Amino acid sequence: MLHTFAGVVGYLLTVLLMEGLSGDLWYSPAIWLPCLLIGFFMNRKLHHRAAVLVWLGGLLWFMFTTGYISHTGFHWVSWTKYREHIQFPLRNSDCAGNECLNYVFGTLPLLNSVSYSIGAALGLLRKAGRSEG
């Protein structure tokens, strides 16, 4: 629970950083690096093995938000392209119609939970490497 809360704090930092980004830096390290560092330093200190599973919560949340995307009136090919466009926009200008709410509330939590889990795994490795030597 503590690691999920820390991941949410990292996500909020990411959303605040996004406001300051100019240009098309949506998938830059400025987006996922805060959660990776929080995961690394927290798990290096706390050494919880379950922290590497935080990505599962992000995946479940992403699946939940993806299930709510309406596909009424679209055949499968266009619906897939539509979903890719609203879940994974490449540029700020791709979000003119829906304000990127699906990206902010679906894709970013997934991206940040995965980066938190990677940071937590690296924190475990760093802790294990220090205690052996």
In this predicted structure, what is the pLDDT of residue 17?
Answer: 63
Domain, as residue range, for 95: 2-132
In this predicted structure, what is the pLDDT of residue 53?
Answer: 92
Name the token pair of 110. 């997934």
Residues in the chain with pLDDT < 50? 71-74, 133
In this predicted structure, what is the pLDDT of residue 119?
Answer: 93
In this predicted structure, what is the pLDDT of residue 101?
Answer: 76
Number of structural domains found in the chain: 1
Neighbours of 55 (CB within 10 A): 20
Query: Rounded to two decimals, what is the model's pTM?
Result: 0.74
Helix, strand and coil in the chain, % to nearest 5 = 80, 0, 20
Dist. CA 58–CA 106, nearest whole Å: 8
Q: Provide the greatest CA pair distance for the chain.
A: 62
In this predicted structure, what is the pLDDT of residue 26?
Answer: 64
- Specify whether the CB–CB gap between 24 and 90 falls below 8 A: yes
In this predicted structure, what is the pLDDT of residue 25?
Answer: 58
